[in-house]
Amino acid sequence: MTLYDLANPTRFLKLVKVLLPWLIVATVAALAVGLYFAFFVAPEDYQQGQTVRIMFVHVPAAQLALMCYAMMALSSIGSLVWKHPLADVSAKASAPIGAAFTFLALFSGAIWGKPMWGTFWVWDARLTSFLVLFIMYLGIIALWKAIEDPIKAAKVNAIITLVGVINVVIIKFSVEWWNTLHQPPSIIRADGPAIHSSILIPLGLMALAFVLLFVTLHLMSMRNEIMRRRIRAMRMRAASVAPAASSSTVTKAAPAGAR
């Protein structure tokens, strides 16, 4: 099974049908275990108290927000270079998920920031760049909706997605380049994680659960998009097969509407 075998949407849908129940079970199990660890096993922070538990949602959501964009960018390369039909679908399916996770990261960050920093929002580099990411997601979703023809929309979106990758790089390194309120990275560092394992393990579990959640949502949303395209194709076929019938009904209906 290679990437090219998946180019056939029917085969892809078959694979999704097999995979999806397992993925849903795995996601629910991972979320349950992760949340249990996060809320009951992980210790309170000596400075932040209970509010540190927001981190177990905040950090994975932020990671996924970037991962969705990476997924979108990879899919864009796929649809521009190889014209893989499912790459379009994948790129389109990632955008709303990415926007949702970006919003979750911003929202959880805001309610964490209030007790910790004394404010819901600061114009800090990481926060600001995440807001920009959110605007980009919304812009891309709007662009998908604005162009009727899905193939043209995919190409245009791929171009703007790839141009926007530069901002993702800025977001990733913003906390290292500009020393502001948001803390620098503490998990993936050259000299090893700077967090005690009692917090790191629940965080890892939650990150895993969120990745599973993303894969599940992404596959479901790709499936929906393929279905939606099939409906669109069927409608167009139906419209082109029976133009005479439909036009006659229109001419009959028109005077009734005019009156």
Cβ of residue 182: shortest distance to other proteins, in angstroms? 16
Task: Tell me the window of 163-171, 182-190, 214-222, 227-235 that interacts with other proteins (CB under 8 A).
Answer: 163-171
User: Are 109 and 127 within 8 A, CB to CB?
Assistant: yes
> Which residues, 95 to 134, sit near other proteins by CB under 8 A?
132-133
Q: Which of 94, 90, 83 is nearest to 168 (CA)?
A: 94
Q: Which of 100, 173, 178, 161 is nearest to 134 (CA)?
A: 100
Tokens of residue 12, six digits: 């892809």
Is residue 181 part of the contact set for other proteins (CB under 8 A)?
Answer: no
Cβ of residue 199: shortest distance to other proteins, in angstroms? 33
Residue from 70, 135, 227, 254 binding other proteins (CB under 8 A): 135
Is residue 142 part of the contact set for other proteins (CB under 8 A)?
Answer: yes
Residue from 15, 77, 162, 215 binding other proteins (CB under 8 A): 162
Residue from 49, 139, 184, 185 binding other proteins (CB under 8 A): 139
- Which parts of this chain interact with other proteins (CB under 8 A)? 80, 132-133, 135-136, 138-140, 142-143, 146-147, 152, 155-156, 159-160, 162-164, 166-167, 170
